[in-house]
Structure 1
Amino acid sequence: MSWLFGWRRGQSAPPPDSSETPSNPQPDGGSGGNGDDTPKDKWSNFDPTGLERAARAARELDKSQHAKEALDLARLQEQTLQMEHQGKLKEYEAAIEQLKGEQIRSQGEERRKTLSEETKQHQARAQYQDKLARQRYEDQLRQQQVLNEENLRKQEESVHKQEAMRKATIEHEMELRHKNEMLRVEAESSARARVERENADIIREQIRLKAAEHRQTVLESIRTAGAVFGEGFRAFVSDWDKVTVTAAGLTLLAVGVYSARNATAVAGRYIEARLGKPSLVRETSRITVGEGIKHPIKVTKRVISKPQDALEGVVLSPPLEERVRDIAIATRNTRKNRGLYRNILMYGPPGTGKTLFAKKLASHSGMDYAIMTGGDVAPMGRDGVTAMHKVFDWANTSRRGVLLFVDEADAFLRKRSTEKISEDLRATLNAFLYRTGEQSNKFMLVLASNQPEQFDWAINDRIDEIVNFALPGPDERDRLVRLYFDRYVLGPATGGRQRLKLAKFDYGEKCSEIARTVEGMSGREISKLGVAWQNLLP
C-alpha cells in the first residue's frame, strides 16, 4: 500500500508542494534559539508532509469509484505476498529439516565409525591384554620351572648330602664295630690263653686219662670181636657146605638187585616215553592211557574221525590261504610217503590263527599235535635239558608222527650272545638245537613268535618255511563276523529245544557294519566279541 501515500516502489518520493510551507519554521539561530543543533524534543524535526500527502491520497481514493477494488487488489497482493512468504518459509523449514536429517545421518555415520573404531580399539586392547596375560603366564611357568629345577637340585643335593652322611655314619659304625669286635676277640683270646696257661697241667692230665681210658676200651672191644669172629670163622670154615651155600646166595642176591634196578629203569622210561605225556607238553591229540580211561567216548570219536580240511574254520587272506594250503598238501604227502618233514616258522600279532592252523594242519595230515610254550622252559632251570630230551624222545615213539607246535618260541630260543640268557637256559637251547639238527620223519617242528628277530642264528638255519599271519583285512573281518554271528547268535537262537525270536533286520548289512567298526582287531578278539553277543541272549 505504498502507492496510497503518493509513491510507488522503485520511485523517489514526490517533491514537496511549493505552495505549502513548512510549519513551525526554525530560526537561523537553531532550535530553541540557544545556538546549538540539538532539538528541544523528538518531534521537533518531524516532517508532516508525507502524512499530508497520504491523507490527500486517501481522500482522493475514497472519492474514487474503484476504491473498493483497489483495496481488494491490495489485500490480494498482500495475501499473495504472504503466501509466497509462507511458501518460502516452508521451503526454508523443509531445507532446515533436510539439513537436520543430513546432520542426523552424518552424526549416525560418525557414531558408527566411532563405535567401529572403539570396537577395533577394544579388540586390539583385548588382544594386547591377552598377549600380556600369555606372556605373564609363560613367564610364571618359566619362573615356576626354574623354581622347580632349583628345588629339585636342592633336594638332590640334600639327598646326596644325606646319603653321604648316611654312608659316612655307616662306615663309622662299621669301623667302630670292627674295632670293638677286634678288641673283644683280643680280650677273649688273651683271657682264653691266660686260662689255658693257668690250667695247662690240669688239661694235660685230663687228656692223658681220657686217652688211657679210650685205649683200654678199644683194646677190650678188639679182643672180644676177635674172639667172637675167630670162633665163628673157624666153625664156618670147618663146615664146607655152609661156605658153598653162602657164596651162592650172595651171588644170586647181587644179580637180582642189579637186574631189578635196570629193569625198573627201562620199564619206567618205556612207560614215560610211550604212555605218558612230558611235562613241557601243555596239550596234545595223542591218546594216552590215562586219557583213554578218563574219556573213552571222546577217544573213540577221535580215533574213528576222518581227516578234516586244513582251513576249516580258519579265515585268512587269499594269498596267505593259498600258501598255507600248499603247505598242508605238502605235509599230507610227506606223511603218506614217510618222508622228512619241513619245519615252519609262523609269526605275527597274537590271535591271528597260528595255533588254530597248526591243529588243523595236524588233523588234515593225519598226525598228532603237541603244543608247548617257550615260557615253561626257563623256570625249569637245570631240569630243562632233561625235560627237552623227554619231549623229543616222546615224539619219536609216535607211529603217526607228531606236529610239535612251540608257542612263544622266542622266550627260550633267543640269541645266545646276549647276557640276559642264563646258563641253564643256554644248556636247554643247546639240547633243543642238538635234537633238531637234522630233519626227521617222526616229528614236524612248527614255531610261533611275535618277535622272530630275537631268534638265535642257529634256529633260522633249521626253518624251511616262514609264514606271516597279519591282522585280518576288510573282507576277512566281514567273513569272521558272519562266522561268529552265525555260530554264537543265530545257531543258539534258532536251534535246540528252546528257540528264540529274533528281531527282523538285515543281518548281512549289520555284519558288514560291525566288520567296518572292528578295524584293527584280531580274529581272537572278534571271537570274544561273538561270545559277548551270545551272553546278551535272554
Structure 2
Amino acid sequence: MQEQSVQLEHQSRVKEYEAAVEQLKGDQIRIQAEERRKTLNEETKQHQARAQYQDKLARQRYDDQLRQQQLLNDENLRKQEESVQKQEAMRKATIEHEMELRHKNEMLRVEAESKARARVERENADIIREQIRLKAAEHRQTVLESIRTAGAVFGEGFRAFVSDWDKVTATVAGLTLLAVGVYSARNATTVAGRYIEARLGKPSLVRETSRFTVVEALKHPIKVRWTSPSLEERVRDIAIATRNTRQNRGLYRNILMYGPPGTGKTLFAKKLAMHSGMDYAIMTGGDVAPMGRDGVTAMHKVFDWAGTSGRGLLLFVDEADAFLRKRSTEKISEDLRATLNAFLYRTGEQSNKFMLVLASNQPEQFDWAINDRIDEIVNFMLPGLEERERLVRLYFDRYVLEPATGGRQRLKLAQFDYGLKCSEIAKRVKGMSGREISKLAVAWQAAAYSSEDGVLTEAMIDARVDDAVRQHQQKMDWLHGEGVLDNEGRPTPTKGSAPPPLKAQEVLRPLQEVPSDRSKPDGTPV
C-alpha cells in the first residue's frame, strides 16, 4: 500500500510535470505570437515611416522643381524686361538723334534763308524805300480827297436843312413824339405787367390753385374736377354756409383743421372750395422760413393776389404751425417774426375776398393771436370701423378691381369673396389713416405686378396687411416713446396748450342753422 501510494504520488508528479510542460509550451506559443505581432507592428511602422519619408522626399523634389521653374521664369522675365528696356532706350535714342538732326537741319535752313533774305533786302533797299514812299503819298492823297468830298456833301446838306424851316420843324416834332412814345410804351408795359401779374400770376408761396393762370392755361386748357362721393356728406353743411356767404357777399369765417396726418384735411379744403364755388390756393408753412427777408413781401403778395379773385379765394395753409409759432416762447428769427406780423396784419379783420383755412398736427404751438383769428375748429379724427370699410372698398376698387377688369394691364385677381375680405381688412387696420389705407391698396397692386403670373391672391393681400399693421404699430410705439400720444392713442396735452377743440359735429351744428330758403349745391332745399 505504501508502494502504491508512492507510485500514485509519482504519477501525480509526472502529470503535474507534464501539465507544467504543456503550460510552458502554451506560454512559449503566446510569447511567440506576441513577438510576431510586435514584429508586424514594427514592420508596419517602418513601412509607414518609409512611405512618409518617400512622400516627403517627393514633395521636396516637386517644390524644388517648382522653385527652380519659378526662378527660371523670373530670370526669363527679367531678361525680357531688360531686352525691352534696351530696345526702348535704343528707340528713344534713335528718335532723339533724328530730332536733333532735324533741328540742326532746320536751323541751318532758317539761317541760310535769313542770310539770303537779308542780302536781297540790302541789295533792293533803294527800290523798297521808293515803293513805300509812293504808297504813303497815294494813301495821303486819297484820304484828303475823301475828307474834302464828305465835308462838301455834309456842308451842302446842313445848309439846305437849315435854310428849309419846315424840315427843321418836322424833325424836331418827330424826335419829340418818338421820345414821348418810347417813354409811354415803357411805363404802359410796366403797369400792364404788374396788373397781369396781380390778376393772373401765381405768388411764389402758393403751391397749387384752381384759379386760371396763363401757364396753367397753356398746360391744361380744360381742368377736370373730380368729386369724391365719400367726402360729399362731410363737406355739405360747411359748403352750404360758405356758398351762401359768397352769394350774399358776406364775411367769410376762418377755419382751423387739426388731427393726425393723412386724415383728409387738404382734400376737405379742396372739396369745400369746389362745393362753395370758390377758388382755392394751397401754400405750405415750411416754404415761408427759407425765404428770409423776402417773406414779408411774398406774404403781402399772396394776400394782394387773393383779393383779386372775383369768385372769392379759399386760402389753405398746410402745416401752418411751421411759421405761425408763439412769438413769446419760441426762438424764431427776426425775419420769420416779421413775416408772422405781416400775416397777422393782413388777417386782422374778416374779409369778403378770401377765406382762411389752417391745417396743423400740433395746434397748441400756434401764437395766441392766430387763435384769436380762428372762427371754427374742426377735429379730424382717425376713421372708425365703418369709415375704414368704405375706404378699403374704395381703394380696393380703384387700385385692384379696375386694373384687373380693364384688360390693359398685367394685374389679375384670384377668386375669393372680395366684400368679406374688405370687411376683414377694415377690422384689422384699426388706427390707420386714410392715407395709410390708400398706400396699403397700392402695395396690393405692387405685389401683383411683382409676382411671376401677375395674379393677386388672398394670401398676398393678407401678407401685405400684416406688414402694414406691423409697421403702423412700430410708428405708434415711436410716438408713445416720444410722449406725443397717450396710451389710448390720443395726443398728449402740452404745457400752456389751448383747451381741446370742438369735434366736427359740434362745429357743423351752427353751420346747419341757415335760412330754409337756401339750397344745396344739387338744387334741393336745406
> Normalising by the residue count of structure 1, what TM-score does the alignment of the two structures yield?
0.48
Residue 404 to residue 115, structure 1, CA distance change in 2 (3 Å) = farther
Shift in alpha-carbon separation, 1:253–1:499, aligned structure 2, 3 A:
closer
Aligned-pair distance for 1:295? Answer: 2.1
Task: Report runs of 4+ in structure 1 exceeding 6 Å deviation.
Answer: 76-254, 317-323
- Structure 1 residues 221, 127: closer, same or farther in 2, change over 3 A? same
DSSP-derived class of the 2:423 partner: helix
Map Cα deviations across residues 154-173 of structure 1 (whole Å, 9 max, x no partner): 99999999999999999999
Q: Secondary structure at the match of 1:448?
A: strand
Match of 1:337 among 223, 231, 248: 248
Structure 1 CA distance, aligned partners of 2:300 and 2:276?
A: 25
CA contact (8 A) 2:324 2:367 kept: yes
- Give the CA deviation at 1:294: 2.2
**Cα distance change on mapping 1:526 and 1:262 into 2, 3 Å:** same
Alpha-carbon displacement from aligned partner over 1:407-466 (angstroms, at most 9, x marks no partner): 001111111224521111111112211221222222111100111111111111211110
Q: What is the CA RMSD across the aligned residues, in angstroms? A: 14.6
Helix, strand or coil at the partner of 1:398: coil
Q: Does 1:429 align with 2:340?
A: yes
1:359-374 to 2 correspondence within 5 Å?
359-374=270-285
SS of match in other structure, 2:66 = helix
Alignment of 1:480-499 (within 5 A): 480-496=391-407
Change (3 A) 1:319 1:230: closer
Tell me, in whole angstroms, the C-alpha distance in 2 between the residues paired with 1:416 and 1:193. Answer: 91
TM-superposed deviation, 1:348: 0.7
Q: Counterparts of 1:239 and 1:480 in 2: how far apart (Å)?
A: 90
Distance 1:499 1:271, change over 3 A: same
The match for 1:143 is 68
In 1, are the aligned partners of 2:235 and 2:271 still within 8 Å (CA)?
A: no
Query: How far 1:271 moved relative to its partner?
Result: 1.2
Deviations 1:204-257 (A, max 9, x none): 999999999999999999999999999999999999999999998998787666
- Local SS of the residue matching 1:467: strand
Bigger shift: residues 223-232 or 340-349: 223-232
Q: Cα deviation per residue 1:368-426 (whole Å; 9 max; x = unaligned)?
A: 11111000111111111111121112211111221111000111111122452111111
CA contact (8 A) 2:252 2:352 kept: yes
Relative to 1, partners in 2 of residues 1:343 and 1:242: Cα closer, same or farther, differing over 3 Å?
A: same
CA, structure 1 residues 81+354, in 2 after alignment: closer, same or farther (shift >3 Å)?
Answer: farther
249-258 or 150-159, larger mean C-alpha shift: 150-159
- Judged with a 3 Å threshold, the aligned counterparts in structure 2 of structure 1 residues 455 and 419 are, in CA distance, closer, same or farther, namely closer
The 1:275–1:505 alpha-carbon spacing in structure 2 relative to 1, beyond 3 Å, is same
Evaluate the alpha carbon distance shift between residue 319 and residue 497 of structure 1 in structure 2; reply closer, same or farther with a 3 A threshold: closer
Matches of 1:455 and 1:197, distance apart in 2: 98
Q: CA deviation at 1:262?
A: 3.5
Report deviation, 1:280.
0.8
* Alpha-carbon spacing, 1:226–1:488, altered in 2? closer, same or farther (3 Å): same
TM-score by length of 2: 0.49
Aligned-partner SS, 1:296: coil
Q: Cα 1:250–1:455, aligned 2, differ >3 Å: closer, same or farther? A: farther
Instruction: Identify the residue that residue 234 of structure 1 maps to in structure 2.
Output: 159
User: Which deviates the most, 471-480 or 458-467?
Assistant: 471-480
Q: Structure 1 residue 325: deviation in Å?
A: 3.3
Q: Deviations over 1:53-88 (max 9, x none)?
A: xxxxxxxxxxxxxxxxxxxxxxx9999999999999
CA offset at residue 144 of structure 1? 60
Greater CA drift, 194-203 or 385-394? 194-203
Match of 2:31 in 1: 106
Q: Does 1:128 align with 2:50?
A: no
Q: Secondary structure at the match of 1:494?
A: helix
Structure 2 CA distance for partners of 1:255 and 1:516, relative to 1, 3 Å: same
Q: Tell me, in whole angstroms, the C-alpha distance in 2 between the residues paired with 1:266 and 1:206.
A: 67
Q: Does 1:152 align with 2:89?
A: no
Q: Which runs of 5+ in 2 are unaligned?
A: 445-525
Residue 474 of structure 1: CA displacement?
2.0
Greater CA drift, 482-491 or 229-238: 229-238
Q: Which has the higher contact order (CA 8 A, sep 6+)?
A: 2
TM-superposed CA distance for 1:264, in Å, is 3.1
What is the distance in 2 between the residues matched to 1:449 and 1:177? Answer: 84
CA–CA distance in 2 between the matches of 1:490 and 1:91?
A: 110
Relative distance call for 1:186 and 1:227 in structure 2 (3 A) is same
2: CA distance between counterparts of 1:505 and 1:256? Answer: 78
Q: 1:439 to 1:191 in 2, by over 3 A?
A: farther
User: How far, CA to CA, are the matches of 1:419 and 1:152 in structure 2?
Assistant: 77
Q: Look up the match of 2:377.
A: 466
How far did 1:494 drift?
Answer: 2.4
Q: Describe the shift of the 1:154–1:386 C-alpha distance in structure 2 as closer, same or farther (beyond 3 A).
A: farther
Q: Distance in 1 between the 2:83 and 2:333 partners? A: 40
CA contact (8 A) 2:231 2:268 kept: no
Is the contact between residue 201 and residue 214 of structure 2 (CA under 8 Å) also seen in structure 1?
yes
- Deviation track 1:296-341 (CA, whole Å, cap 9, x = no partner) reads 2447xxxxxxxxxxxxxxxxx9999977432122112112222221
Question: Hey, what's the Cα distance between the residues in 2 that align with 1:293 and 1:481?
Answer: 37
Quickly say closer, same or farther: Cα 1:431–1:517, change in 2 above 3 A: same
* Mapped partners of 2:265, 2:389: distance in 1: 19
Give the direction of change, closer, same or farther, for the CA distance of 1:263–1:115 in structure 2 (3 Å limit). Answer: farther
- CA separation of 1:216 and 1:509: change in aligned 2, threshold 3 A: same
> What whole-Å deviation, never above 9, does each CA across 1:2-36 have from its counterpart, x for those lacking one?
xxxxxxxxxxxxxxxxxxxxxxxxxxxxxxxxxxx
With over 3 angstroms needed to count, the CA separation of the structure-2 counterparts of 1:275 and 1:508, relative to structure 1, is same
Deviations 1:352-371 (A, max 9, x none): 00001111111111111111
* Pairs within 5 Å for 1:227-376: 259-298=184-223, 324-376=235-287
Contact kept? 2:284, 2:319, Cα under 8 Å: yes
- Shift, 1:506, TM fit: 2.3
Q: Which moved more, 1:487-496 or 1:96-105?
A: 96-105
3-state SS in 2 of match to 1:298: coil
Deviation at 1:504, TM superposition (A): 3.0
* Structure 1 CA distance for aligned equivalents of residues 222 and 294 of structure 2: 36
Per the alignment, residue 312 of structure 1 pairs with none
Aligned mates of 2:24, 2:279 — CA distance in 1: 110
How many positions carry a matched residue from both structures?
Answer: 442
C-alpha contact (below 8 Å) 2:235/2:272 kept by paired residues:
no
Q: Which sits farther off after the overlay, 221-230 or 249-258?
A: 221-230
Moved more, 275-284 or 97-106: 97-106
Tell me how far 1:116 sits from its aligned partner.
56
Greater displacement, 80-89 / 247-256: 80-89
The percentage of aligned residue pairs carrying the same residue is 90
Question: 1:176 Cα deviation (Å)?
Answer: 63
Q: Which runs of 5+ in 1 are unaligned?
A: 1-75, 300-316
Larger Rg belongs to: 1
